[in-house]
Structure 1
């Protein structure tokens, strides 16, 4: 009998129904296509509309804007099920958990009505463009410029590593509206990409992991964007807006990473239970049992930490240092656990046909995106010493 996980303190019947729907969707409508999506480096566009039909997009956005009317808990459930299924060929986190909430928090009523219902249906795919070839975690150093010209901004620059970048019809772009003002010169501008002059997508990027996830570079050359697309109604608020929303993003990364960690343990337990060595199942060896015990303990601690963070966010008490702790520790620990689990698979763990091999390469970027883990530790240290 396997070790039963502790009940989630925030789970209820409605969330369980959502979990069941999400699990069926990812397992039956996505997993069978993962190899094809990996080869073409992106999911099929139609999967976004299907997710919208099932209510899996913008679940935490009010019904008045076409969303599911739920909360962060609904988004957490969807995130867990997507990552448990190892289905990272399209990012609902970026679309629903991040961009939609920038609009909800800072958008005008007209902006919300214009974009959120189309995001909820899957008509629009959303992305966020912060990282540049010369500026990653240090967002104050971005160089993409937005110079006002009447009722438009003229945008020039480039962004890289943009998740959902191929299919995105709506992109939240971090720009410099004042090149001399440092962080206070950063603004967020929404762009609709359809037939937008001066906008160009680069080729799909080759990655060692998450190969089905469409990731591209974006280029802006004298691209004209209406001033009405500025988020927050005033220039220079972008950096503060990013800092306010990043804890939510980092918690979603931690939630997904913890789900992947548990999947690695579950798969390895199943593999070692049927794999024969020296006339017995591999699980009968003490080293195997001890390694799995260590891995399950780490997965349980991660899950408990996630549950506490989710409860704190729901209560409005979640803070930046705690988000940084969750993000760095869980993503680091996930990589460690997956490495141990791959070792227990032996040579088969190195074969791409086994899910553990995909987990190994897919999980590595977790320690980089959403803010490098070294930066997370600096955030924590500053909070400790100020």
Structure 2
């Protein structure tokens, strides 16, 4: 074989090898890009610092090592405890959910043991069932009943569910009577917070009894609030008198709708309206999420500070929507993942959540909301971050 022919054969072989190498590189690059794209909306895989199991355990252990709070605030640590307040309830309930979703029986038992004194030596801390913020306490014994089937929990929890619609015989206002006469809870206020507090206890009552009257009346109540304070873009005013889109207030509404929709029967007459309101809100929240994955103290005001409790509630509502198939997996999975990762810089090594808006009444100026204190360790923030960890780990929402 002459040298010229040998050179031609060598060059063809080299060209073939280069072509194979080129194809290999293209495949690797494509796979890498595809993997990166999946990770943008993947709600199942996270680095260790954002692992929902680690974060959930961290927050629950932080909750367990502290005494009962006074409305969630670390600033009120020295005030005497007169009752279990709703921030504790929300964190406690999230703990029950999370320990069940991760099959952590030891953690569930610790949370259960924390409840036992409320049946005996701390019975005086059981809230009086006269306000939405008090009646939500009933979710805890009802969750314990769901897990243990112990009748003592059922009786306690159902009392809180029933009294929310049973008009008291004394000290009733004209407005409370009017709500009751129309088939609504006499505890109706048309404040955003209510739509988690009412929904949560009525949903629990439905879960344990399978009696649709509980979930039906929660749905009817929800539509009343949608008609009263939801804006065209899906966000909500704090109340009819406080026309500001407060972050955590909108968070209560987002979570309330998500919680209601995930158990509301498909044939419920109110479901279509609630789903439309939920999706409208999620679309607007997607628009207002900032580059850090967070939302602001007033959702539609970009000059406000990043607030963690509302951001966590929005993230939870989107995780639920994606996993239930109500929201597009790629579009909203990306928002939810970004929200979860954004929250991680607000969870410290002890398990406290930072930048949590302090307890907030209705306000009448932008500056009122801007000047609310951003707290560290307030249970208003621990609870919804824990809910997110639960939603990310739960296989069957």
TM-score in terms of structure 2 length? 0.25
Tell which structure's C-alpha radius of gyration is larger: 2
> Quick one: higher RCO (CA 8 Å, sep 6+), 1 or 2?
2
Task: Name whichever structure is richer in strand by fraction.
Answer: 1
TM-score in terms of structure 1 length? 0.25
